[in-house]
Chains A and B, each alone.
Chain A
């Protein structure tokens, strides 16, 4: 429908002036609210709403592509010579130079600059204006700050299903890379989707591992070859040994045959010192220690069964968890076992029975870490159950020093490479302890909570400043300790040596004492068999007391009766002095004899 309104105006009326007139307001349209429409709407709760009349903006972050930078040098050639002068021609250049020197401006300028320059030269010669004042005093007292540790970097397991970081190994040159072995140590807990990979991380890049190692079974331990930084050896969960060459990629170069490998996860692998640099040995909870040559992994070169009775019987063998080898003592090595016993072995012995030299027992649970003190190799640290113990090779009966029993299980430990009196331990509650036993012996000098999940492995970098800790969920945390912990204090070596010697001596004295006492007990036991009558009877304290009391009163009454009789008989005689009757001494003696026997019980 077209709405049309026609305006009509007579032509004669064009151009007429407008006559405006007022009129009251008129309603043109009035639309009343229609209550019927409310059915289409729901009443809303009154709310406070803010309105702003502003243009919509959104924030965006864009990560630009990383541009490649390259450093290049520029070869600087002579330039700037005017066109007519050939820089290679000596004559022309000399002529040019002479011409410039004749210039008046040149002369004037040089004289000006010369005086300015001379001022500075003389200044330099007069006094060293950049002199360092108080240089020596700065380095004196930095050691008073309390020890602290700072997290530098965190490397997380990139897989969805997290595995425990069971072993860490630093790159031998410069320690810029960290090799971490990942596996799940919980009994039958590994799922099908769990990845078998282990990684080599570059410290600069925590987002992506530098190299992915792909074994056929998860790696429990992993070590860099200290002689050749491209070679790594790893012990697998299924007992095989594999070795990698980082130049060749992530697949193992060679894998040991299943028949000749271990039957349990390989918990410890260490490289040996040899001319070829290809020897290593491994230990596992199946009770065997195997020696391998990397070039031929089909068969171990040597085997040793960890049987303390020296019979080589595999059934009696103790499962080995920790291995220790010090390159300065190439013939000896130590094995820490699941049963809490440390076995020292000699590699060069002729028969397998002679290979096992001695044992140290003292832990209640598996020994998870075993390390010799780098400065005093005769003393070594063991970490197991809820304590950490320090042993000396000389005292075989017990450890010379030990920490108190902690609330959480200790999982790993190592000595500091710089300070002989400092060692680090990790616990199941996710804390790292730094012990300095020259400073404080009953408590760690520093306790750092690294993460919420249990820490399983620990490795100190060679400079003693950085520590890598691996946790149950595969997070490797890199910590830096304060300089007080990693700088050698004055006289520390001597103090540590004195402390070790003192404790060893104490243990030796205690051992000797124990031996004496045992000897005495044995002879006493033999002596007791002859005197059956009284000596073999063991009395309780109450019985003893009752008997003594009875005897006492009997004797007193006997004495009183005797005195009365004597008084009756010899009245005119001098009354006897009420001193100790004759029998007292003997009675006193018998009393002491009784007491002796009581304590001998």
Chain B
């Protein structure tokens, strides 16, 4: 009849679990803060985070727009990156900016994720 060790084990686990989640939540909070800060800048219309498969992870726009942007810009970024690397294999794409009549789309690419921001540049 030894309930205690299980309980302690359980408590330990829960404690460590709590520790992990706190680290994670701290990091998550930082991510939140970054994204919120970006969204709060003057002229920013929307922010989208896309993963390597083109699935939007985080977005401030409505679903259909997000899906459209995610799919199209993902392909464009891949194409741009492959172009840069074809010309010089040591080179890599760091940033992509598309300025159109109405606004500017900025894409920050990474190996696994894409950060897309649509901004209305003030003149």
Residues of A within 8 A of B (CB): 76-82, 96-97, 100-102, 104-107, 109-118, 120-122, 124-125, 128, 130-131
Contact = CB atoms under 8 A, between A and B. Distances in A.
Contacts of A116: 94-95, 108
Given A125-B43, A125-B121, A130 B49 contact: no
B121 A128 contact: yes
B71 A118 contact: no
A104 B106 contact: no
Contacts of A130: 99
A478 B26 CA distance: 73
Nearest to A122: B41
Interface size class of B (residues with CB under 8 A): 35 or more
B37 to A, nearest CB: 7
12 contacts: A76-B68, A79-B54, A101-B28, A106-B57, A106-B113, A107-B28, A111-B31, A113-B115, A116-B94, A125-B122, A128-B121, A131-B123
B38 A117 contact: yes
A122 B24 CA distance: 29
B113 A80 contact: no
A121 B117 contact: yes
Contacts of B123: 128, 131
Given A78-B67, A113-B110, 19 more contacts: A76-B67, A76-B72, A79-B53, A82-B53, A101-B57, A104-B27, A109-B110, A110-B49, A110-B113, A110-B115, A112-B110, A114-B37, A115-B34, A117-B38, A121-B38, A121-B119, A124-B119, A124-B121, A128-B121
Contacts of B37: 114, 118
Given A76-B68, A97-B57, A121-B44, A111 B110 contact: no
Interface in B84-123: 94-95, 97, 99, 104, 106, 108, 110, 112-113, 115, 117, 119, 121-123
A100 B50 CA distance: 11
Nearest to A82: B53
B95 A120 contact: yes
Contacts of B106: 117, 120-121
Interface in B11-53: 24, 27-28, 30-31, 34-35, 37-38, 41-44, 49, 51, 53
A127 B55 CA distance: 33
Contacts of B79: none
A131 to B, nearest CB: 7
A124 B121 CA distance: 6
B27 A107 contact: yes
